[in-house]
């Protein structure tokens, strides 16, 4: 199987009828890039930067971060790299950062909420990213955005640092796309309004499922509610993709669902533009996509949207999974 998959490394990702989508990878450290290239990744769809901050006892400096981002951008050689700003909190803690005790950390002080409150942490990361931007194709993504105001605030801090860097004589790219993760139902619901202001969406299904079904993604007791194939989730995804296309921007997905062979037919039908997954899943996904046609997947997803349960959706999808 491995040998057979190798033939897809150099190939473009397209459906049987020639519709192109982008197959990208999720990474956590610069070292992970080797595997992205080996597996024919067309970009990095999610660089989880919290790993730069974890497993140490102090904040990474702006320069340290700059080196990491530059390494990844250079290694990807012009292919798009979506870097997500710090998503700490929830289940991820930093030993050197005093976090408030909360009853519901996943509903609490995390990700963009923390960064907007702690500009002393947020600004150095943005500066490091902006300085690295000339070494490749950088896209910046904010996690856990729940309101338009949060996005506007984050973007204005970014633009502020950009101006500062330029006036200090630094080179900064003028083509950096700025987008958000869609992982909160409130954001998915008004994707149309967000689409007027962001350059792209990336759907984070790991959290979007948790918040849609109000079921802690870490709790075994409610794991039956972790339902990627529930029609309610498919409707949220459709709303995001449709809104992006009406506004001429793109939608990716970087949660686990994007690499699930049972989800791929549905996501193609819904019109997803970019799929980001673990590097080792890319070639299998590319092979599967080559066997599917967009018209047929569109019919499949239309039918799935009318289903009542996950089981009904899975029954429909099974015909397209080997």
239 binds ligand PEP (CB under 6 A): no
Q: Cα–Cα distance between 301 and 239 in angstroms, integer?
A: 13
Compare residues 207 and 216 and give the one whose CB is closer to Mg ion.
Answer: 207
Site size toward ligand PEP, by CB under 6 A: 10
Q: Which does 40 bind (CB under 5 to 8 A by kind): Mg ion, ligand PEP, none?
A: none
The annotation status of 239 as a binding-site residue, yes or no, is no
140 binds ligand PEP (CB under 6 A): no
Query: Interacting stretch for Mg ion, rule CB under 5 A, among 29-37, 42-50, 201-209, 293-301?
Result: 201-209
205 binds ligand PEP (CB under 6 A): yes
Q: Cα–Cα distance between 10 and 54 in angstroms, integer?
A: 34
- Closest by CA to 196, choosing from 233, 254, 155, is 155
The annotation status of 183 as a binding-site residue, yes or no, is yes
- Within 10 Å of residue 49's Cβ, how many Cβ atoms? 26
204 binds ligand PEP (CB under 6 A): yes
| Residue 126 near residue 161 (C-beta atoms within 8 A) | yes
139 binds ligand PEP (CB under 6 A): no
The annotation status of 217 as a binding-site residue, yes or no, is yes
Strand intervals (E) in the chain: 22-27, 44-48, 80-84, 137-142, 177-182, 200-203, 250-253, 274-277
Q: Cα–Cα distance between 264 and 19 in angstroms, integer?
A: 14
Angle at 67 between CA 179 and CA 151, to 5 degrees: 20
The residues near 7 (Cβ < 8 Å, ≥ 6 apart) are none
Q: Which does 60 bind (CB under 5 to 8 A by kind): ligand PEP, Mg ion, none?
A: none
| Residue 125 near residue 49 (C-beta atoms within 8 A) | yes
Is-catalytic flag, 115? no
Compare residues 207 and 260 and give the one whose CB is closer to ligand PEP.
Answer: 207
Q: Which does 48 bind (CB under 5 to 8 A by kind): ligand PEP, Mg ion, none?
A: ligand PEP
Q: Cα–Cα distance between 150 and 169 in angstroms, integer?
A: 29
Find the binding residues for Mg ion in span 205-244 (CB under 5 A): 207
187 binds ligand PEP (CB under 6 A): no
204 binds Mg ion (CB under 5 A): yes
Per CB under 5 A, residues contacting Mg ion are 183, 204, 207
Per CB under 6 A, residues contacting ligand PEP are 46, 48, 87, 183, 204-207, 254-255
Catalytic residues: 254
């Amino acid at each position: 199987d491995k040998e057979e998959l190798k033939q897809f490394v150099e190939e473009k990702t397209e459906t049987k009828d020639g519709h192109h989508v982008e197959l990208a990878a999720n990474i956590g450290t610069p070292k992970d890039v080797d595997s992205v290239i080996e597996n024919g990744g067309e970009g990095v769809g999610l660089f989880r930067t919290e790993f730069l901050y974890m497993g140490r006892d102090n904040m990474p400096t702006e320069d340290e971060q700059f080196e990491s981002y530059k390494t990844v951008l250079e290694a990807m050689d012009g292919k798009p790299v979506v870097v997500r700003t710090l998503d700490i909190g929830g289940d991820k803690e930093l030993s050197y950062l005093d976090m408030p005790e909360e009853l519901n950390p996943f509903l609490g002080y995390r990700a963009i909420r923390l960064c907007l409150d702690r500009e002393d942490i947020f600004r150095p990361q943005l500066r490091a990213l902006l300085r690295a931007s000339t070494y490749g194709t950088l896209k910046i993504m904010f996690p856990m955005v729940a309101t338009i105001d949060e996005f506007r605030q984050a973007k204005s801090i970014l633009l502020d640092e950009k101006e500062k860097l330029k006036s200090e004589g630094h080179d900064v790219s003028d083509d950096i796309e700025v987008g958000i993760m869609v992982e909160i139902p409130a954001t998915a619901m008004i994707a149309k309004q967000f689409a007027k202001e962001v350059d792209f969406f990336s759907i984070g299904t790991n959290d979007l499922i948790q918040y849609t079904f109000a079921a802690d993604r870490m709790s075994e007791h409610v794991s039956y509610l972790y339902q990627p194939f529930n029609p309610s989730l498919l409707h949220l995804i459709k709303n995001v993709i449709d809104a992006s296309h009406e506004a001429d921007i793109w939608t990716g997905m970087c949660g686990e669902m994007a690499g699930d062979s049972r989800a791929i037919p549905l996501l193609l039908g819904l019109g997803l533009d970019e799929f980001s997954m673990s590097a080792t899943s890319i070639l299998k996904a590319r092979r599967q996509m080559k066997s599917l046609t967009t018209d047929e997947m569109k019919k499949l997803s239309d039918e799935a949207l009318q289903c009542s349960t996950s089981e009904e959706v899975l029954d429909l999808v099974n015909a397209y999974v080997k």
